[in-house]
């Protein structure tokens, strides 16, 4: 972690690596696109609300993809919507992350066989960082997904290209 586990013995000087500092700043303020698709979006909103309080991890819904770091695909991605999801993702500035929330967006969910209108997994159009299983996942599960994403960001390198 670098920043926080160092004792502040030397007055107000903290020694850390640039990489750690950047990663720490990045993972502590992952702003999400204010965007929901289906019933998973209800759980996502519950996660944002006071009881589970997404904000304590630095997650705030932003009204524009251009101000966002993460897009949570919360619900069934229809073929019609998939094109819009892809466009939203392309409008986000780098570095950007994707959390696929729930069975539908992971793999098509209950629509996998007869859903003529459903994209069988959002990873067919945009790259996914974290998959959260569930139908819909409980807020705890989404929080776990976010912690996984933070762990991923924490281990990123500014030299090596991230996946």
Partner 1 sequence: MKSTEEVFEILKGRFGDAISELVTGQPAESYFSVSPKEINKICFYLRDTEELLFDNLMNLSGVDDDNGEKKTAEDGSFTTFGGTLSVFYHLESTSLKHKVTIRVSVPRETPELESVAEVWRCADWHEREAYDLIGFNFLNHPDLRRILMPYDWEAGHPLRKDYKNPEFYQGMKVPY
124-129-130 Cα angle (round to 5): 105
Q: Which is nearer to partner 1, 118 or 132 (CB)?
A: 118
Residue 125 in the binding site for partner 1 (CB under 8 A): yes
Do you know the residue count of the chain? 163
Helix-strand-coil percent breakdown of the chain, rounded to 5?
A: 40, 10, 45
Residue 44: name the closest of 87, 122, 105 by CA: 105
Residue 135 in the binding site for partner 1 (CB under 8 A): no
Residue 98 in the binding site for partner 1 (CB under 8 A): no
Residue 29: name the closest of 153, 130, 127 by CA: 153
C-alpha distances (whole Å) from 53 to each of 9, 37, 66, 67, 71 are 33, 20, 23, 20, 17
Identify the residue among 65, 75, 108, 137 touching partner 1 (CB under 8 A).
108
Q: Which is nearer to partner 1, 94 or 113 (CB)?
A: 113
Residues 64-83 that bind partner 1 (CB under 8 A): 79-80, 82-83
Residue 134: name the closest of 98, 101, 99 by CA: 101
Residue 123 in the binding site for partner 1 (CB under 8 A): no
CB of 40 to partner 1, least distance (A): 20
The piece of 1-9, 109-117, 126-134, 142-150 that touches partner 1 (CB under 8 A) is 109-117
Query: Site residues (CB under 8 A) for partner 1?
Result: 79-80, 82-83, 107-108, 112-113, 116-117, 119-120, 124-125
């Amino acid at each position: 972690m670098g920043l926080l586990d160092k004792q502040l013995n030397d007055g107000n000087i903290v020694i850390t690596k640039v990489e750690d500092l950047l990663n720490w700043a990045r993972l502590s303020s992952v702003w999400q696109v204010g965007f929901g698709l289906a019933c998973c979006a209800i759980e996502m909103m519950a996660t944002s609300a006071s009881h589970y309080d997404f904000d304590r991890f630095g997650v705030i819904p932003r009204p524009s993809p251009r101000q966002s770091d993460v897009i949570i695909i919360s619900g069934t991605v229809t073929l019609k919507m998939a094109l819009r999801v892809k466009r939203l993702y392309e409008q986000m500035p780098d570095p950007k992350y994707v959390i696929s929330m729930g069975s539908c967006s992971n793999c098509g969910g209950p629509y996998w066989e007869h859903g003529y209108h459903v994209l069988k997994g959002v990873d067919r159009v945009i790259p996914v960082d974290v998959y959260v299983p569930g139908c819909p996942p409980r807020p705890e599960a989404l929080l776990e997904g976010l912690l996984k994403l933070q762990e991923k960001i924490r281990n990123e390198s500014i030299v090596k290209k991230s996946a």
